[in-house]
Structure 1
């Protein structure tokens, strides 16, 4: 699901399919979006009731919180709007994201337009909600040339946001060239993400990007950081990453947050080569009776079979879900969320439990956690309207009304009879504007 609805799609949702019936202001913005300068001027002429002139009319025309400069995507339109209409290059729109023209150009990957906007006064140090900078936005999209341009104009390479630095954003997407440029400009490879304490190295391992892992280790990334990069690599079967981490000094005797050693995680994943690599470096584990490569693998298989046994899993899940439901019914949502979390460790794909935990987060006002659970459910169950319903509700809690509209639109398409979702959608639309 795309998190941002395109301007034509948004207007069509709001105004219907018949563009001829749309307000002139909406059609002017659509012309700016399409790069049709002649059409912009034609529409402006019809709106110029006071005789202030076409350029001035274009400059003051807005619709649903956006003006022509926010809608534009073409260099020749930008030139007209800034050099003739004298519009404010740094004015944000009034959507929940409060995006400026520069951010929209970066999102589109339009390097000439980005350069033009900066040359004509766009503030590259502007921050939006969550302390996200333009460098974060460019890194997240892997816009390497735009990253270079922003850095050359003085963008802060280690700008902190609620979700990490630009290096985190590039590493978790596996954008090797972007990671390389950021490191060449002295990005700190050991900055931690406030929400999870993850480093860029952990982010690169999450997306299994070996080239990014190599670059980060070469730049001095801490291979024994809090998130235990070696355990993550072992649990994902990343043989070459395990070799790199061990060579750089990673500790094979450091457990993950659940108390499991990297060798156990490698055995559970099923990569014998990884177990063989880790075995000579790992201290004997007391619960493994036969301390050998085969013994570790046998032990891991027995533990895994417990979870593969339907009776074991069903009994365990039933017990944890019952405890969670009892706490939920008593409106003790914090305790319920703990039981549901434990249940999801047994069966991460249990859709009902994921939804119940999402509801706990919503009741507790934990918007970010609710968004994460609802997004996961929507990803794995894309045909269930309820997933998008809860995602829309969570996004509204986070005051991200634009994305809430997108989620609820998907939900309504799946369940057109849902009055509750329809009501939420129009609430989000009103709040967005």
Structure 2
């Protein structure tokens, strides 16, 4: 819901030209409703009523480009036109248009007209209407319509309703609307109710909305999950860094490429960011001079080294070899560390991500394994092993009972490698697995390679 569009008259101009006298009367009728001009509506309806059905019937039955007059009335949201169409013409208040599938009240919310929304709800519009899992509250939160949000909540809208994009609170953070976000929190919105891949603080940081970050932390958002400090440092958001540290965020957690927040602050932020993070950051063994200046010099030297292709190629080769040796010894932790260091130098190497995903898998860390497999799949969407890694990680996360989506991912991987349909049937059984190793053993019998890659 709530996709911003051109005003209806502008849309008609694009299709019909600017000379309104040449527009079909149906288009002029709908435009009159957009402007809330009841007299013009009646005038054009009389022109259209060649069959003698009467003006109310003609008004109710006329559409253009999938919209009727009650849908178009949301353009300016003027109450006289609503009173005429609902109380005199008796139009269906629940009927969606066939252009974007919105009901009249959804149009009113989209355009931000609170009096129109109140009128329509008072006359039977559905407060809890869902369109693709989105509610009226989702739409209002997306557009930062604080007064509409407040009104909908006062009428009983579900503050934590889940849609495919998350809760209204997540959408307010995504669009960077602190006033709307504050109202939702005041009405009991749960900042830790997640639906999707990202936590709500990450969403606010993506928008660089420090105000939203502060409000979310004050509202009880969890700062210990995702590496919010790394994102704040990468964006140079000094006040967000301070706020996160005060709330207890851990500055010693690396991002998926092995970079600490303080290292990201050197590369993307300011010296002030480095100085803020330094007292909270544990010494890095590879930094000889552990000081503000020392870490800055160290990171700047690493950046310079990355400009030397020969150095990068040799360093990555050495790290891969060290990782391979650690893996053979079943030292998966150190193997993952070596792969992380290699990814720090080349974060577009799908095999490095695949191999580190396997390390996480062997250590029983399904979430990290899944994250790496997902990134690997983005880089190499036609590589079967990426799908296998992702499916295996999903199964590990979900325990002994494997769902259809997990096997769909594994099945796609097997199919890409040309395995037989009999084998697909065997691994596609949806039921309890006594041990995760049992599935791994089944997969070893196919052309899927579980061996470690160099």
User: What TM-score do the two structures reach when normalised by structure 2?
Assistant: 0.65
* 1:63 alignment partner, SS class: coil
Q: What residue in structure 2 maps to residue 245 of structure 1?
A: 244
Q: What residue in structure 2 maps to residue 278 of structure 1?
A: 277
Post-superposition shift, 1:182? 0.3
Distance 1:303 1:63 in 2: 62
Q: What residue in structure 2 maps to residue 109 of structure 1?
A: 112
Distance 2:92 2:269 in 1: 58
Q: What residue in structure 2 maps to residue 428 of structure 1?
A: none
Distance 1:341 1:162 in 2: 29
> Which stretch shifts more, 45-54 or 150-159?
45-54
Q: What residue in structure 2 maps to residue 222 of structure 1?
A: 222
Distance 1:257 1:210 in 2: 23
Q: What residue in structure 2 maps to residue 119 of structure 1?
A: 122
* 2:348 alignment partner, SS class: helix
Q: What residue in structure 2 maps to residue 145 of structure 1?
A: 147
Post-superposition shift, 1:247? 1.4
* 1:342 alignment partner, SS class: coil
The 5 Å alignment of 1:225-236 reads 225-226=225-226, 228-236=227-235
Distance 1:287 1:163 in 2: 41
Distance 1:312 1:6 in 2: 53
The 5 Å alignment of 1:82-231 reads 82-95=86-99, 97-129=100-132, 131-194=133-196, 197-226=197-226, 228-231=227-230
Q: What residue in structure 1 maps to residue 303 of structure 2?
A: 304
* 2:56 alignment partner, SS class: helix
Q: What residue in structure 2 maps to residue 373 of structure 1?
A: none
Distance 2:161 2:265 in 1: 35
Indicate how the Cα distance of structure 1 residues 300 and 82 shifts in structure 2: closer, same or farther if over 3 A, else same: same
Cα deviation, 1:117-163, whole Å, max 9, x if unaligned, reads: 1111111211223x221111101111100001111111111111121
Indicate how the Cα distance of structure 1 residues 24 and 306 shifts in structure 2: closer, same or farther if over 3 A, else same: farther
Whether contact under 8 Å (2:257, 2:347) holds in the other structure is: no
Distance 2:109 2:347 in 1: 38
Distance 1:341 1:80 in 2: 62
Cα deviation, 1:274-332, whole Å, max 9, x if unaligned, reads: 2122222222223434322212111222333456x5x759x99xxxxxxxxxxxxxxxx
Whether contact under 8 Å (2:42, 2:55) holds in the other structure is: yes
Q: What residue in structure 1 maps to residue 81 of structure 2?
A: 77
Whether contact under 8 Å (2:287, 2:298) holds in the other structure is: yes
Post-superposition shift, 1:35? 1.8
Structure number, greater radius of gyration: 2
Cα deviation, 1:42-100, whole Å, max 9, x if unaligned, reads: 111122233222112101111111100111132211111111111111211112x3112
* 1:66 alignment partner, SS class: coil
Count of equivalent residues: 318
Whether contact under 8 Å (2:223, 2:248) holds in the other structure is: yes
Q: What residue in structure 2 maps to residue 51 of structure 1?
A: 52
User: What TM-score do the two structures reach when normalised by structure 1?
Assistant: 0.68
Distance 1:5 1:91 in 2: 22
Cα deviation, 1:236-277, whole Å, max 9, x if unaligned, reads: 222222122111111111112222111111111241122122
Post-superposition shift, 1:3? 5.0
Q: What residue in structure 1 maps to residue 432 of structure 2?
A: none
Distance 2:171 2:202 in 1: 12
Runs of 4+ in structure 1 off by over 6 angstroms are none
Gaps of 5+ in 2: 314-345, 350-376, 382-454
> Which stretch shifts more, 238-247 or 22-31?
238-247
Cα deviation, 1:201-252, whole Å, max 9, x if unaligned, reads: 22222222222222211111000123x2111111122222212211111111
